[in-house]
A and B are shown apart, each in its own frame.
Chain A
Amino acid sequence: MRKEPHLYLAFVVLLSLCFCGRTALGQTTSGQTTNGIKPKIIVIPKVKDGENLKTVYDSDPNIRVAMAKIDEAFLLRGANLISFDAKLKEAEQNRLINQSSGNQTDYKSTVLANAGSDIYVEAEINVVKHTQSNANSVSVILEAYQAGTSNYLGVKEGRSRINRTEDIGLLTAQAMDTITEPFLALMQLKFDDIVANGQSVYVQFSLADNSKYTFDSEIGNPPKYLSEVLDEWFQKNAVKGQFNDQGVSGKLLIVSDVHIPLKNPNNPQANYTGVNFFYDLNRFLQSQGVKARREIGTNNKILITIL
């Protein structure tokens, strides 16, 4: 054995290489930190048509128990939560102001608009009376939507046990315990899909009253319909070319579901939002000699008027 020292050397080098390879693999697969985006979430009570959101919230303590439970679960997972109570008070103040100026208000739209949330969760509580056994049970339905686009993110229904109690809050808490975790897990699955396929944005184009364009106007060289030019731009700039052209008339063009990247393609460290998307779109329109104005530009909803 002493005659072959280089064999030992080769053996040791080979072994080291193998271990180095495994360590390097570890660094690339598990050492990475995910610099994710925390979406802003608001939990609101579900109301039927014609029902007032504030009245339902104020009059039903079980709704408040369910909302407190889901708020708690979101907070434990480190979510970026917006307080519904605070936003409701803000909406109430706005309502008083609007009333004095004679404007109609809708609490749900006002709260959602003021909250600036990316996601809203609607909580619905149903109390079931079991008259034969003189008992009650509660079912809770949670539905999550992406604000702006109203894309569905998930739904879960939970039931409490049938108990001989009038404490509906306790039953609500029981029902919530069964679905909180699966509901969050379901939402996270949807988020993973957003990471892979981009976030969804709603874009609507309309024409100013005195605009010289319609969507059938021909622009550029070779001349193409304005709607066709926009269509091509969306195909090029949407993630994996995914967008849903909901329809076009002479004066309105709606792209209800454009998938935009999560990170800025030119700077992967920076987030890419609906507002950034509008800036890029506006630059393109300017390059085509078309002037446009942004009416609303949230992270999920962009309304554009062509001048």
Chain B
Amino acid sequence: MYKYLFLLPLLFGTVSLAAQTPEYGGYVKYAASTPGTITVISNGFGKKMRESGKDANAGAFYAVLFRGIADSRYQLPLVSDEAGKKNDPIVTGLLTGGYGSFVIEDILVSQEAQTRKVDGSKGILTVHKITIDYDALRKYLEQNGVIRKFGY
């Protein structure tokens, strides 16, 4: 029996990794906005195009949620408590694919093979122009108790 104990650290490692929010560090820049929507230019990186696209979208949503978009009408973040809410299951669900229903448009602007300087990993860098339904996103967060409805 004890010969399988080596599996336990592996198990704990997997679970703790799954519980952490990945880092979203791509460039996110304001492009345009209308009342209720915002368009940003966002970079993504991944081994494949699909992964890179996901990374760009998640980065854009992370910036809208926790950073705010400078030079736009949405310069204040939707969620003011980053430390307290970034591991909220609603937020992690949103950043790991749940963002799809809030994306009005996702245009691939450019792509190029690249070796990342930080860790030397090889992959594809993609630049996306993403339009987000900001009002719908806020309502979703309000309904799920991540942020308060207007008022106190």
Contacts and interface: CB of A to CB of B under 8 A. Distances in A.
B76 A36 contact: no
A181 B72 CA distance: 10
B149 A36 contact: yes
Nearest to B75: A182
Interface stretch (A10-18, A125-133, A207-215, A252-260): A10-18
Contact of B152 (A33, A37, A78): A37
Interface stretch (A90-98, A163-171, A192-200, A236-244): A192-200
A68 interface: no
Contacts of A36: 148-149, 151-152
A30 B150 contact: no
A31 interface: yes
Contact of A177 (B1, B35, B87, B148): B35
Contacts of A37: 151-152
Interface in A178-212: 178-182, 184-189, 191-192, 194-195, 199
Interface in B34-59: 35
A266 interface: no
Interface stretch (A21-29, A99-107, A227-235, A272-280): A21-29
A29 B149 contact: no
Contacts of A195: 148, 152
A192 B87 CA distance: 20
B19 interface: yes
B3 to A, nearest CB: 9
B148 A188 contact: yes
Contacts of B15: 18
B90 A30 contact: yes
A250 interface: no
Nearest to A199: B152
Contacts of A11: 7, 11
A34 B149 contact: yes
A307 to B, nearest CB: 35
Contacts of B91: 30
B88 A29 contact: yes
A187 to B, nearest CB: 8
Contacts of B146: 30
B115 interface: no
B88 A39 contact: no
A187 B151 CA distance: 9
Nearest to B7: A11
Given A30-B90, A180-B35, A6 B151 contact: no
Interface of B: 1, 4, 7-8, 11, 15, 19, 35, 73-76, 80, 85, 87-91, 135, 144-146, 148-152
Interface of A: 4, 6-7, 11, 14-15, 18, 22, 25-26, 29-34, 36-39, 74, 76-80, 177-182, 184-189, 191-192, 194-195, 199, 262
Given A36-B151, A179-B73, 5 more contacts: A6-B1, A22-B89, A33-B145, A79-B150, A262-B152
